[in-house]
Amino acid sequence: MTDAPKIKALLFDVFGTVVDWRSGVARDVKAFLSRHALSIDALEFADAWRREYVPAMEEIRSGRRPFVRLDVLHRENLVKVLSSHGITSVPPEEVDELNLTWHQLDPWPDSVEGLARLKRRFMIAPLSNGNIRLMLDMAKRAGLPWDAILGAEVVRAYKPSPSAYTDTVDILGLDRAEVCMVAAHNGDLAAARGCGLKTAFIVRPTEHGPAQTSDLRAEQAWDFLATDLNDLATQLGCAN
């Protein structure tokens, strides 16, 4: 295991690691579908919306499209999913409102307490693909005690592009080995490790629902492996 005293900052993936995006999106989608008398499963709709996430960001990572914030991509993806279900006559302001569901996601039960414990010893900030306003709204609603809001919009790069990690560390004025990336996704951690960051894997076995097949276990020997953020705080010597 890594020597924890050398770590000065923890950077966090947010969607799936700190918050339960699937349940939150489905909650607001269900209300939307009910208002429009649409017999579509809200969880399936949430999953379809999320499936557009990586392809949309890849357009930017590949250089085929200039950087735009995630709110823009989420709205474009929402219109695609609505259209795929034959829903084309929703007023734009209602589409905008539904798009804000990503700003209103609930934390996992351990997240607020775990982050508060970690904050006592380390600098903590999101390194998320979510944009600044999204992260701020989510933090205000959920009580996430970040020291700063960092991530894709700040460095104009989406994970897992190397600059998303290295430029964020540069903003903190730290060496890469002094920063630990915390995520429930092996791919995110592999990219961070490739840039010289320390890594902590948090197991979130129901991020994608009860039939989840991905990221159920650590795929590399990450520096830390924890069942949740409280477990990580304990491993890193943070008091209750």
- pLDDT beyond 70 at 34: yes
- Count how many domains the chain has: 2
- Specify whether 190 is located in the same domain as 218: yes
Confidence of residue 36 (pLDDT cuts 50, 70, 90): confident
Give residue-wise pLDDT tens across range 101-120. Answer: 999 999 999 999 999 999 99
- pLDDT beyond 70 at 94: yes
Whether residue 146 lies inside any domain: the answer is yes
The per-residue pLDDT for 2 is 54
Mean pLDDT over each residue of the chain, to the nearest integer: 96
- pLDDT beyond 60 at 1: no
Domain boundary among 81, 103, 125: 103
Residue 240 and residue 83: Cα distance in Å, rounded? 48
Count of beta carbons in the 10 Å neighbourhood of residue 67: 14
Give residue-wise pLDDT tens across range 121-152. Answer: 999 999 999 999 999 999 999 999 999 999 99
Q: Residue 160: is the preceding peptide bond cis (ω within 30°)?
A: yes
- Cβ neighbors of 122 (< 8 A, separation 6 or more) are 7, 8, 9, 10, 236, 238
- Specify whether 89 is located in the same domain as 118: no
- Specify whether 85 is located in the same domain as 99: yes
- Specify whether 97 is located in the same domain as 55: yes
- Specify whether 126 is located in the same domain as 220: yes
The per-residue pLDDT for 51 is 96
Q: Which two tokens stand for residue 237?
A: 């010597």
- CB 18, CB 111: distance < 8 Å: yes
Q: Which two tokens stand for residue 215?
A: 């990221």
The CATH number assigned to the domain holding 59 equals: 1.10.150.240
- Specify whether 118 is located in the same domain as 208: yes
In the predicted model, what is the mean pLDDT of residues 193-212?
A: 96
The secondary structure of 53-94 as a DSSP string is HHHHHHHHHTTSS----HHHHHHHHHHHHHHHTT-----HHH
What is the domain range of residue 218?
4-20+107-235
The per-residue pLDDT for 163 is 97
What percent of the chain clears pLDDT 70, i.e. is strictly above it?
Answer: 98
The CATH number assigned to the domain holding 118 equals: 3.40.50.1000
